[in-house]
Structures are given as structure tokens and as C-alpha cells.
Amino acid sequence: MSERSDAVVVGAGLAGLVAASELADAGRRVVIVDQESAEHLGGQAFWSLGGLFMVDTPEQRRLGIRDSRELALQDWLGSAGFDREEDHWPRIVAEAYVEFAAGEMRPWLHAMGLRWFPVVGWAERGGSLATGHGNSVPRFHITWGTGPGVLAPFERRVRAHMAAGRIILKGRHRVSELRIVDGTATGVAGEILAPATTARGETSSRAVIGDFEIEAGAILLTAGGVGGNHEMVRRNWPTARIGPAPQKLISGVPAHVDGRMLEIAEAAGGRVINRDRMWHYTEGVTNHDPIWPMHGIRILPGPSSLWFDALGDRMEPPALPGFDTLATLKRILSTGHGHSWFVLTQSIIKKEFALSGSEQNPDMTGKDWRAVLRNRRGRNAPPPVEAFKRHGEDFVVADTLGELVDGMNAIAGEPRLDRAHLEAQIVARDREIANPFSKDAQIIALRGARRYLGDRLIRTAKPHAILDSAHGPLIAVRLNVLTRKTLGGLHTDLDGRVLAADERPIPGLYAAGEIAGFGGGGVHG
């Protein structure tokens, strides 16, 4: 016999927890189902750095950053493009989100106890025109407590409603069908999976021990994206726009981020749009202590590392560290290879390298101010970065450039890189450091970065010659393509209603979070 509820939320990640808590606050009875264990609430958000896009905040103003909703929307539109017929709703949702990010978002979260690291990060700096891609100002607000810190207030709210009987959480329940009756979504059906003893993020069993049905007046899909499903990533890869997918991909998300519900919703009549719009990072390194299959970690670079393609050619703007991910991805793939290289010094790595993810930032995740100051203002890089330098298969450390290039070629498996060619480019760059003037766009950019107090304090090394032994040893890092974010998704309107092929809402069916990608148009989560 089927169970009945006011609403079913499919997916217990951040979007699902927010939606369920809001529904229960409004007096609705909610069932949350998730294919992973019930104790592992939070989905991919648990592993995140907890960075939030907010506009004109006290944190920005304290650092002298002048932001506004007009500037933020200009940046958003410059990045999104919105050049397709199906971008009507994505644009409307984006405009509404910028309004939210510049208005009630921070007070709403602050009232629930969220706080943010005082240095606002500057992600995706663009490197083109004012109307082009990127953020004109720093507006990446890292939550104190990282991803788990973002989840905490919503998990508290959900568990309080569970104790009161308004929310029922069903882990190891995998939805395989959306029930549609006379064009209206009326419920979900699927399989009960065997209990799992795996740790959070590890691949769990898919053994079936039963089935279930739940009827509800509203079905809300919050099941996340496709980054853990490389077959689906490759099937939807934007080859015409950026070139073919590389042979090697590493995963920035666990295997359960599998995209199943996108296909199930599409089979039920929902329209998926912009499925070729993805966001895969170019600075991925293989995790030396993996949790999920092909586990990769993204380096969050400062602006000083020299970036070379697989052939040993230094990449030109906007393919600079932290400036334009998709343009850089296209540039890397143009070589016929899927990897690239950072070349840097110990002085750069200790000041500029950060690793994305809650588990790679235990000081911030654990809200330990003393550890944060010690790790980010000390003589060495933060301990997780130093651990990758020592144990990571993509890292080379050497005292001389010749030894460094030999190590890089050993990692690549063939003598593709020529020491003299690499040295000539590095020496040319180093000559530009001697003056306060330069024609080298990267040097101009890093000097500009140091005008921002936050970057000068903890994110940008003092300019120096790469081959100056006083700043050694030399370090090279092979960078792989890291799957992460789904930008396309279920076509939704401003109320989160899933639209059919004729753009009419499917009664009773809603979507939120990464599976909807802002109306199927462009933002993760």
C-alpha cells in the first residue's frame, strides 16, 4: 500500500533540506527520500567550501569593496550569455537571485546563525571586458564552518520537525518513477536499498530489498547534478564549444551525484534544457587519500603560478589562474591533451594555494581561529596543501629547473616538455619583475590583486622571480579536469514548477537546486 503525504522531497542535500524545512514551517507534512543513508544529510554541500554569492555585504564594505546589485547583475549576465531561446526563464530566475543576494539573503542566513570569514574571496576574475565573464569585485563569502556550517541550521530545522512528526526522513529509498495521472504528478515509486555501513561519500551498495510508493500533492525534486556520472558527463559534453572531453576525468563529487532523476523526470514529461552547460574545473589534482572513486580536489590558486599547457607553452589571458575557467578549459583541450601544469615556488604555494572542500580545510570547518591564523600566516602552506605536496601523484618538487622538468616528464609518461623552452619563458617573465611596469598581463594582474587588502594579506605572494633560489624549491603540479557542476537541468519557472516541452507547468511537480540549475540555465545549487 502506498503512503500519503502533503509533499515528497526527493534528495536530502542542501536544497532538499531548505525546501523541506520551509514546507514544514508552513504546516505541511513532508517525506524526504534519498538513496543514501539517512544519517548522511547534506549531499554534495557537506563537502563544499561553503562559498556564497552575496552582494554589497558588511564583509565587503569593511574591505573597501564597492558592490551593488547593478554591478552583480552585469557580471552575471556577462558570464551567462543567455543566447538561446530557452534562456527566458533562466534569465528571470537569475535576475531574481541577484536581487535576493543583494537583499534578504544575508539577513535571513545571519538570523539562523551563519557567519562568514572576514576576507571575501575573488573567484572567476574574468580577464576580458567589463561586459564579459567574471566577477568585477570579490564577492565569494566563505561560511565559517564551510559546507557543514551552511547545512547546520537547515539540518537543525529538519530534525526539529522530524521530532514533531511533520517531516519523515527515509534513507536508502531510491526513486525510479514519477507517477503522473491525467498530466498531474501524484507521487513517486522506487526501491528500498539494503542498509549501508559505508562512510559518508563512499560508494554504497545498490542491492534492492523492497519497494515503496508515496502519494503526495506536491513532488519536489532536489536530487543534484551529474558530476559523479562520467558517462553522462561525456554524453552531454559541449564538444562544439570547447573541444572533445579529455580521456582522463577526475571527480569532484561522490558517485551518488549520478543524474538519475534528470532522466526519470524527463521520461515523466519534464523538459531538460541546456544539458551541455557544465562547469568542470581545470585545476584538479588526484586525492592522495580518496573517499569516492576517482576522487579529485580543486586547487584554489592565487594569481602568481605560471600556467603551461601539456606541450610546455605558457597560456595567454584569460587563461590565468583564477580568471576564466571555461576559456582555460577550451585552451587546454586545444592541445589534444587533457592536462596542464602550474610552475611555482615555495613562496607562492605557502601564500596562494588553497584546496576546495570542507575536509581540506579542517581549521575553517572546525571553526578554529587560532589554527586558521597559524596555517595561513605561517612559514609553510596549510597542512593539507603540504600533504598534497609530499604525497600527491601530480606534484613535483625540485631544486633545479632541469630536475623539475625531468619529474614533470616522468609524471606525463613521455619526454614532451623541453627544459630550454620552459626556461626561456620563465626567464622572460622574471625579467618583467624588475620594474614596477610590465606588459605581462599576469604580472599586471597580480600587482592589481595586491591592491586588494584581502589578497595582499592571505592570497597573493610578493612578486618575485620564479628562478630565484631564495624562494625555492621549485614546484610543478599536473592539473587535471575535475567534474563538478551541472548548469543545465530541468526547465522551471520562477516558482520552481517543472515545465513540459510546451512550456506549460506540470501540475504538482517542482524542482530546486542543481537539478534545476536556475531554471535549467546556469548556476549550481
Q: Map out the domains of the chain with their CATH numbers.
A: 3-227+485-511 (3.50.50.60), 279-482 (3.90.700.10)
Q: What 3-state DSSP class applies to 186? A: strand
Bin 50: left if φ > 0, else alpha if -120 < ψ < 50, else beta: left
> Cα–Cα distance between 115 and 109 in angstroms, integer?
8
Instruction: Flag residues of the chain having pLDDT under 70.
Output: 1, 524-525
- CB-neighbour burial class of residue 156 (10 A; exposed 0-12, middle 13-18, buried 19+): middle
> Is 5:35 a contact under the CB 8 Å cutoff?
no
- Can you give the pLDDT at residue 379? 78
> Is 388:395 a contact under the CB 8 Å cutoff?
yes
> Cα–Cα distance between 478 and 118 in angstroms, integer?
31
DSSP 8-class letter at 116: B
- Can you give the pLDDT at residue 521? 77
- Can you give the pLDDT at residue 2? 80
Alpha helices in 136-176 (DSSP H): 146-163
